[in-house]
Structure 1
């Protein structure tokens, strides 16, 4: 049986009209599906009102003690439950989760090296607890994951949503033919970051190595590609990177965006 594991980026979460259109398309997707959402900038805006300063190094959030409380509240509460409520209104029976729920995604706090990222979680795929997730899918529920995991000792951890999507897709590939779809605000992986129509429709390891050598890829797309190849090499059947508006096409046998193989 085919399963779609779909990750939607924070830029879509931040755009109410784009998010609503995406969720309408997602609700129309037939068969089992899992959604993982990013955090968007909502936590930053709420943090400013609460006097919690957002700190970043190379575009990555530093998650100190105040910030992990903030993102747990916003990602796991406000954003996650709003997405679930919208899906229920569209007659898609969704259930909101973090990695702590049913112990589905245990993680370890990232070790301190040159930079202390704080309460950030790194996932070990072998530690995933897929059985409860499969049980939810078996009864027709659509799991919706916030970008949060836990350390098994009571501590929540802020975790990259792309990595969560790749890890869950890998774990579920033991039971399903998984298509992992990364949805964001671009049409796919671009040859020229300034040209939205310069989509590279197919990337394999050889092409990827050549693109890296030519330095044509934007820094933001590199983690998605690394997660995509990690998933493919661990049993995921297909990975697509494309625009959130193309999710219906990308779950119906056609490809709009970049196919990773």
Structure 2
């Protein structure tokens, strides 16, 4: 069984043209099947402000009304996604841009209203890998933005970390899957002020202890929940750190294990 890498990049790479160009040049050299998932960075919020559309957030998550959905669809599935695909083509990596609606790859439902109405936010329910399998077996790299659909014509804003996790799980029936979350830190840190305080391995038991002692909290919790969800659903390896870990595995990073 072949090994596939599912790699998620965030705003720290997307928001800087030079950093993005360097990353994509290196990404193109990764051998074997691979999938790239990207978030939206700051561009959607910047454009919303220029158009006098309020940017509403709750605990780091965007509240997506109809106007905001239009903007993020243009930015995520349009400008950012197509720019990445074009740069990969320039680096001899044949790529195709995807939202979850393309090829019916990722189906979501609109998030139910509990205490907060997140609007057109989607929670992933199903990943269909048939179209992806054909592309991957023909050395074509899918590039996913953070947009899914509900099969009834509605696009939905969906967390990019979740998309990466669900794609890795979905592809695990065809490949040995490895999931990499690239962000601005060297990994999960014991001390947020000290960049070298990387926790090199976290398992289910140590994760519980780290949460109880408030070493891991707030923004890192949803990311790690996605990691453990993946590792418990047949994903072979999950790593968090700077993108350098993809090209030099000796670089410090955090590995998630059962």
TM-score tier, shorter chain, comes to over 0.9
List aligned pairs for 1:189-200, cutoff 5 A: 189-200=188-199
Moved more, 145-154 or 45-54: 45-54
Query: Does the 8 Å contact 2:6/2:168 carry over to 1?
Result: yes
- What is the TM-score with the length of structure 1 in the denominator? 0.96
**Residue number in structure 2 paired with 1:232:** 231
Is the 8 Å Cα contact of residues 5 and 180 (structure 2) preserved in structure 1?
Answer: yes
The reply to whether residue 210 of structure 1 matches residue 209 of structure 2 is yes
Q: Deviations over 1:198-251 (max 9, x none)?
A: 10100001110110011012422111111011001100000000102332124x
Q: Which residue of 1 aligns with 2:25?
A: 24
User: What pairs with 1:67-146 in structure 2 (closer than 5 Å)?
Assistant: 67-124=68-125, 127-146=126-145
RMSD over aligned CA atoms reads 1.1
Q: Does 1:260 align with 2:256?
A: yes
Aligned residue pairs: how many?
256
Superimposed CA distance per residue, residues 22-50 of structure 1 (whole angstroms, 9 cap, x where no aligned partner): 11111110010000001100001111122
Alignment partners' CA distance in 2, 1:207 and 1:237: 19
Give the deviation of 1:171 after TM superposition: 0.6
List 4+ stretches of structure 1 deviating above 3 A. none
2:176 corresponds in structure 1 to 177
TM-score, normalised with respect to structure 2: 0.97
Inter-partner Cα distance in structure 2 for 1:109 and 1:10: 24
Aligned to 1:247: 246
CA distance in 1 between counterparts of 2:252 and 2:36 reads 19
In the TM superposition, residue 255 of structure 1 has moved relative to its aligned partner by: 6.2
Q: Which moved more, 1:215-224 or 1:129-138?
A: 215-224
- Structure 2 stretches lacking a partner, 5+ long: none
Per-residue CA deviations over 1:7-29 (Å, capped at 9, x if unaligned) read 01122111222212211111110
Quick check: 1:22–1:247 contact (8 Å CA) kept in 2? Answer: no
2: CA distance, partners of 1:179 / 1:155: 30
Contact 1:25/1:247, CA 8 A, preserved across alignment: no
Structure 1 unaligned blocks of 5 or more: none
Q: Partner residue of 2:55?
A: 54
- Aligned position for 2:164: 165
